Structure 1
Amino acid sequence: MADENKTQNPPQGFIRRFLAQPPDSVSKTIFIAVAVCLVASMIVSAAAVALRPTQAINALKDKQINILQVAGIYDPDQNVVEAFAAFEPKVLELATGSFSDRFDPASFNDRAAADDPETSVALTDDPAGIGRQGKFVTVYLLRDDAGAIDKVILPLHGYGLWSTLYGFIALEENGNDIFGLQFYEHAETPGLGAEVDNPRWKALWNGKKLADESGELQISVTKAVPAAGAEYHVDALAGATLTTAGVHNLVNFWMGEAGYKPFLEKLKAGDV
């Protein structure tokens, strides 16, 4: 009799027992949720890998557009790659203020170099809040029709309120007059710190000077005009005290001894 029952009701395997459960059972619900999550994660991962080259191209294009804009030669109707060919990229060794042939400017990654202990230094005096500073950076020279330097575009970055701001400053050939400054990446508060992107505020930088006749750095981003004078002053962002302080600190850091000053002195002397 027992053998007959076994024949009529053969033991079910795990899959059959699982499938036999009601659709709203806890185990089926958990299984379906986990399966959907796994499939979705695989699709997202595959899309991220597939789109990575496109994202890299778009990031490079955006960076080139920002360099063109800060130099005042961006034309939305012109091909970005063709327009950017006007610039001469150089890898600069900050400590010496000289160009280095150790790296290829076309492939040198400033951020990766700043994270690599072999090509960066940990900062103890760190007003810009960047932690480590690369020993080498990529700068961009823009020459006039005669081949003389017209402008230099220098990358800079530093911490604001919520994020690290990455941008460029454009200087005239004398290495002291500012043509423009703008940031291409940050996560500051919309309507407050994010006003660093406001064209009206960016326009305030044009014509300002970094240092006085003695070479002392005077550029400031504050509410009140300092004693040094208005030619060294950019108005603070309204309601964004900490972002303003961050911009002030990062500009002074990068334009100072620890940053581009050795290079700027050579530029002023015509040794570049």
Structure 2
Amino acid sequence: MSDTQTPDTPKGPIGRFLAASPDSVGKTIFVAVAICLVASMIVSVAAVSLRPVQEANKLRDKQLNVLQVAGVYEPGMDVAAAFADFEPKVLELASGDFSDQFDAATFDDAAAVDDPELSIALENDPAAIGRQSKFRTIYLLKDESGALDKVILPIRGYGLWSTLYGFIAIEENGNDIFGLQFYQHGETPGLGAEVDNPKWKALWNGKKLFDESGELQISVAKAQGPAGPEHHIDALAGATLTSVGVDNLVNFWMGDQGYAPFLEKLKAGEL
């Protein structure tokens, strides 16, 4: 036995650790690490187990927003059943034609944006989205006779603090706006977040995208432009940069880099 060791002295690192004072540095660090590991395991298990519920809620929220922007939602209705009236189509933006390359029911628009084979990096990028998918899932709503009633087009772009994600509903003539709605953003409450205000959203109903010569004229601004009131939406009070962002993203998506080829064919009755 060594000179410094008595019969009661714990042997080995584990023994010395167990015999150490509860306030020792070693035990304090051990407890902290153990708590972190247990907490991270609980969070990971919860995240994995709740993922199906989160995905289902995300899908329902998307369907709800499509119903609302199309003006068919009623409180208490079965969202999934009502959404079944909308026909999803995968649209090739450059040609304005529907693509049969993908299944519209399973096409992942978000994943397509990150896929270099299915997207492009934008040089002219007024909506500040960085990359744009070559394909987008849009939704067709038909009336009881089977004739096209509205098309619901997804849109996104940067405001003041965040990317705004939403839908714009266009009448069957490819020019008249029925409604606009954002379902995700991080704009300032009471200012930029007023994009959610029903009174402001109602301003979009009946506005026209293009003038008689086919030029895109829709504008979100403080003052009405020379194109006239049918193309003007008042900017949000106290939220200039968010309003500019909405103006940029709507003009981007309704323009040649977005849905303009599709809208031209819609107006010409080619779809």
Cα drift, residue 184 of structure 1: 0.6
Matched, 1:19 2:18: yes
Q: Which residue in the other structure is 1:138 paired with?
A: 137
Q: Provide the secondary structure at the position in 2 that maps to 1:88.
A: strand
- Stretches of 4+ aligned residues off by more than 6 angstroms: 3-7
For 1:59, the aligned partner's letter is K
C-alpha distance after superposition, 1:78-133 (max 9, x if no partner)? 11110000100000000110000000011101111111110011110000001111
* CA contact 2:163–2:186 (8 Å) conserved in 1: yes
Matched, 1:109 2:108: yes
Q: Provide the secondary structure at the position in 2 that maps to 1:133.
A: strand
Q: Structure 2-normalised TM-score?
A: 0.97
Cα drift, residue 248 of structure 1: 0.2
Q: Which residue in the other structure is 2:209 paired with?
A: 210
CA distance in 2, matches of 1:159, 1:3: 72
Matches within 5 A, 1:69-88: 69-88=68-87
Q: Which residue in the other structure is 1:271 paired with?
A: 270
C-alpha distance after superposition, 1:141-170 (max 9, x if no partner)? 000111110000000101111111110000
* Greater CA drift, 9-18 or 179-188: 9-18
CA distance in 1, matches of 2:7, 2:150: 90
For 1:219, the aligned partner's letter is I
CA distance in 2, matches of 1:186, 1:5: 67
Q: Which residue in the other structure is 1:122 paired with?
A: 121
Q: Which residue in the other structure is 2:97 paired with?
A: 98
Note the aligned Cα RMSD (angstroms): 1.5
Runs of 5+ consecutive residues of structure 2 not aligned to the other structure: none
Relative distance call for 1:217 and 1:14 in structure 2 (3 A) is same
For 2:253, the aligned partner's letter is W
CA distance in 1, matches of 2:262, 2:15: 75
CA distance in 1, matches of 2:63, 2:156: 16
Report percent identity of matched pairs: 72
Matched, 1:194 2:196: no
Matched, 1:251 2:245: no
CA distance in 2, matches of 1:188, 1:169: 19
* CA contact 2:10–2:19 (8 Å) conserved in 1: no
Cα drift, residue 28 of structure 1: 1.2
Q: Which residue in the other structure is 2:61 paired with?
A: 62
Cα drift, residue 76 of structure 1: 2.3
Cα drift, residue 3 of structure 1: 8.3
Matched residue count: 271
CA distance in 2, matches of 1:97, 1:39: 53
* Greater CA drift, 13-22 or 85-94: 13-22
* CA contact 2:156–2:164 (8 Å) conserved in 1: yes
CA distance in 2, matches of 1:258, 1:172: 20
CA distance in 1, matches of 2:6, 2:229: 98
Cα drift, residue 267 of structure 1: 0.5
C-alpha distance after superposition, 1:232-271 (max 9, x if no partner)? 0111111111111110000000000111011001101111
* Greater CA drift, 17-26 or 199-208: 17-26
